[in-house]
Structure 1
Amino acid sequence: MKHILIVDDEPTVRLGLAKLVRQYSPLLSTVAVANGADALNEIQKQRPDIVLTDIHMPRMDGLELCSQVQELHQGLSIAVISGYDDFKYAQKCLTYGVKEYLLKPVTEHELYPVLDKLLLQSAPAPISIYKVEAWLEQVEAAIWSLEFKTLVRLLEDWKQEEMTAGIPVQQLALIITDGLKILVKKLNARGMASFSIHESATPPPQSAAETMHYLESELVSLYNQLFLWRGGNQKNVFEEAKAYMDSHISEELSLEEVAEKMGLAPTYFSYMFKKMTNETFIQYRMRKRIERAKQLLELPHYKVVDVGIEIGYQSYPYFTKIFKKMTGCSPTEYRSMLGIK
């Protein structure tokens, strides 16, 4: 259903315009208020498809209303219906994005063609789910990589591209809330930290500006959650990387997999890993595997062949070769030195 907001300080004019709109189409709903200030409140509650406003009104006149609407809600269709046939008013209205300027008293013959035109123009472009999903993927990557400048740029991209421009505030709030839930689910699926949003503590947004502020604050909150979890420095990231590798020592983890888990580019992760640990990724994994092999070889009930498999080497000859390279003796010789047959 389309929504028409009527703004006029004369009760008879408000009633007359509302009647004409209902006669034009029963599918149109109308809200009538007496001044620009009340009109702005209504627009914040639910963005109308069309605003029909007078110029001279108490509290806030039509020109000021048009000015604020243009600044806060670009693209909203406005028609002025005034009793003043003055070029300066019409000219001023045009600078505020007013689409039509009608003179009182207005009849259906004058109003209906304007409604035809404005309703066609006010039809919102369909929301691109693909664009929203692609944007969320970029936001996820920016947060996980702790790239704050990229996160700020993505928020600016949302505003500039106006991916959800022209839709009711309630629908915008729903899209953003659902998008944040999806983002949190993606971040939590990485299995390295626990993320959450403050949905239950946040009242439903009442305007597009409040909704965007909610989105910004929640994204910054998610960024800060990860930043604090990582201790605010890169060193903690590599401690987590080593802990993750240790817990998956028997798996054939690639450098690319671990780098992605840490939210870092593989080349940067490789360089920094060696700088922080004095070992390459392969050297560290090999050393930890052999250390684990020694622990298992000290347990008499473990067969030597099973030890190799336990630490990720499916080929026994290859396990023996690596073990001897790292320790100077074979697994069997190592066990013999311990007095285990």
Structure 2
Amino acid sequence: MSFHEIRSVAMIKQILIVDDEPMVRMGIAKLVRQCNPDFRAGVAANGVEALEQIARQRPDIMLTDIRMPKMDGLALCKQIHEMKVNIPIVVISGYDDFAYAQKCLTYGVKEYLLKPVTEHELYPVLNKLLVQQDVQAPFSFYKMEEWLERVEAAIMTANFETLAGLLQSWIQEEMTEGSQVDQWERVLTDGMKILVKKLNNHGFATFTANVSPEQFNTIACASQYLQTELFSLYNQLFQWRGGNQKSLFEEAKSYIDEHISEELSLEEVADKMGLAPTYFSYIFKKMTNQTFVQYRMHKRIELAKRLLEMPHYKVVDVGVTIGYQNYPYFTKIFKKVTGCSPTEYRSMLGIK
């Protein structure tokens, strides 16, 4: 493999080297830099440090050892696989670890090299992986345009269930099937620009979107950006049509408080508010920083504490009054929220 062949693959490339032995890290880093002056070698002593670096800047290739403290190579490969970050991984380890290293193949490891690795073994692997990385399948903008038209229709008809479904389908079908994370900053920001233009062409309201997100390091970041922007556009139409999230939220809270001892479901409250359950759940958590279930549980325990402060109330009756028919379950929930049992709480108040 000649220098010019390697150089033609790509210009600046980030190579992350993960190994707990300092001399080995330095040796492989030196080989990487000698391979191409445009290669940047980052190093980490274990899987935990590697994940921290990946969160800051996604490398183009990762070279990792197997046996390391804190987090070994197998656990690291598993984490990266679950994060759905498309990083080509090369395991560089000793002969004794070969059977162990084979397990990494289930997590997308591309190559396995034995220590001590030489330039004649490493350079062809780097070249092959970088060539594969640069030759990506063309992205279908036609497919995205078709999807954007359906999103536009869902927003304009205030159909939040459909919008949430379209979001999920795009994340599951398009963003996690071999996609390169680097693509998504351009694809999604361009897509949001197109969508905002389509919505504004209706002439009903002026829509805006954040078209300059931070760099996406993971599919999760890209997915979160897409969800935030789509829900924001939906909210803008909701506000323009006279919706008032705050008064709606206060009305929902009042309804929950009035029926706190009943088996009240999120779907029932959403129906009373005239909203789709998915959208109501999103708005409720945004306004309270709690899920519907968490809010109901804390309100019930607040009421239980007030009742326990009244000596004539039996502890068992308090649980039933706030909606917990099962006394052991009531005790468990009360202790989870307050740190003590109902009986202990009453004792602290000096009530027997």
Per the normalisation by structure 1, the TM-score is: 0.60
Deviation at 1:163, TM superposition (A): 5.5
Q: Distance in 1 between matches of 2:125 and 2:22?
A: 22
SS in structure 1 opposite 2:41? strand
Q: Distance in 2 between matches of 1:207 and 1:76?
A: 10
Partner of 1:126 in structure 2?
138
- More displaced 10-residue stretch of structure 1: 140-149 or 124-133: 124-133
Of 89, 96, 116, the residue aligned with 1:105 is 116
Deviation at 1:34, TM superposition (A): 1.6
Deviation at 1:16, TM superposition (A): 1.4
Cα distance change on mapping 1:86 and 1:205 into 2, 3 Å: closer
Q: Which runs of 5+ in 2 are unaligned?
A: 1-11, 244-352
Deviation at 1:122, TM superposition (A): 2.3
Of 30, 37, 42, the residue aligned with 1:19 is 30
Q: Distance in 1 between matches of 2:66 and 2:82?
A: 18
Deviation at 1:141, TM superposition (A): 1.7
**1:1-341, aligned counterparts within 5 Å?**
1-123=12-134, 124-162=136-174, 166-169=179-182, 172-197=184-209, 207-231=218-242
Are the counterparts in 2 of residues 44 and 208 from structure 1 also a CA contact under 8 Å? Answer: no
Counterpart of 2:30, as a letter, is K
Q: Distance in 2 between matches of 1:87 and 1:231?
A: 65
Q: Distance in 1 between matches of 2:237 and 2:224?
A: 20
Cα distance change on mapping 1:86 and 1:204 into 2, 3 Å: closer
SS in structure 2 opposite 1:6? strand
Q: Distance in 2 between matches of 1:34 and 1:194?
A: 51
Structure 1 residues 217-253: Cα deviation after superposition (integer angstroms, max 9, x where no partner): 2211211222343346xxxxxxxxxxxxxxxxxxxxx
Counterpart of 2:76, as a letter, is L
Counterpart of 2:125, as a letter, is V
Deviation at 1:193, TM superposition (A): 1.8
SS in structure 2 opposite 1:99? strand
Cα distance change on mapping 1:133 and 1:26 into 2, 3 Å: farther
- More displaced 10-residue stretch of structure 1: 25-34 or 202-211: 202-211
Deviation at 1:71, TM superposition (A): 0.8
Cα distance change on mapping 1:167 and 1:101 into 2, 3 Å: same
* Overall identity of the aligned pairs, in %: 61
Cα distance change on mapping 1:23 and 1:87 into 2, 3 Å: closer
Deviation at 1:69, TM superposition (A): 0.6
SS in structure 1 opposite 2:109? coil
Q: Distance in 1 between matches of 2:138 and 2:57?
A: 18
Counterpart of 2:122, as a letter, is L
SS in structure 2 opposite 1:160? helix
Q: Distance in 1 between matches of 2:86 and 2:225?
A: 22
Partner of 1:276 in structure 2?
none
Q: Distance in 2 between matches of 1:117 and 1:204?
A: 26
Deviation at 1:192, TM superposition (A): 0.7
Per the normalisation by structure 2, the TM-score is: 0.58
Partner of 2:254 in structure 1?
none
Q: Distance in 2 between matches of 1:85 and 1:49?
A: 28
Q: Distance in 2 between matches of 1:189 and 1:173?
A: 24
Are the counterparts in 1 of residues 77 and 109 from structure 2 also a CA contact under 8 Å? Answer: yes
Q: Which runs of 5+ in 1 are unaligned?
A: 233-341
Partner of 1:271 in structure 2?
none
- More displaced 10-residue stretch of structure 1: 107-116 or 127-136: 127-136
Are the counterparts in 2 of residues 146 and 227 from structure 1 also a CA contact under 8 Å? Answer: yes
Q: Distance in 1 between matches of 2:31 and 2:117?
A: 10
Are the counterparts in 2 of residues 76 and 166 from structure 1 also a CA contact under 8 Å? Answer: no
Deviation at 1:66, TM superposition (A): 0.2
Cα distance change on mapping 1:196 and 1:145 into 2, 3 Å: same
RMSD: 2.6
Are the counterparts in 1 of residues 84 and 218 from structure 2 also a CA contact under 8 Å? Answer: no
Cα distance change on mapping 1:191 and 1:213 into 2, 3 Å: same
- How many aligned residue pairs are there? 230
Counterpart of 1:60, as a letter, is M
Cα distance change on mapping 1:229 and 1:156 into 2, 3 Å: same
Deviation at 1:166, TM superposition (A): 4.2
Deviation at 1:9, TM superposition (A): 1.7
Are the counterparts in 2 of residues 6 and 31 from structure 1 also a CA contact under 8 Å? Answer: yes
Counterpart of 1:135, as a letter, is W
* Poorly superposed stretches of 4+, deviation over 6 Å: none
Partner of 2:300 in structure 1?
none
Counterpart of 2:52, as a letter, is N
Larger radius of gyration: 1
- More displaced 10-residue stretch of structure 1: 160-169 or 21-30: 160-169
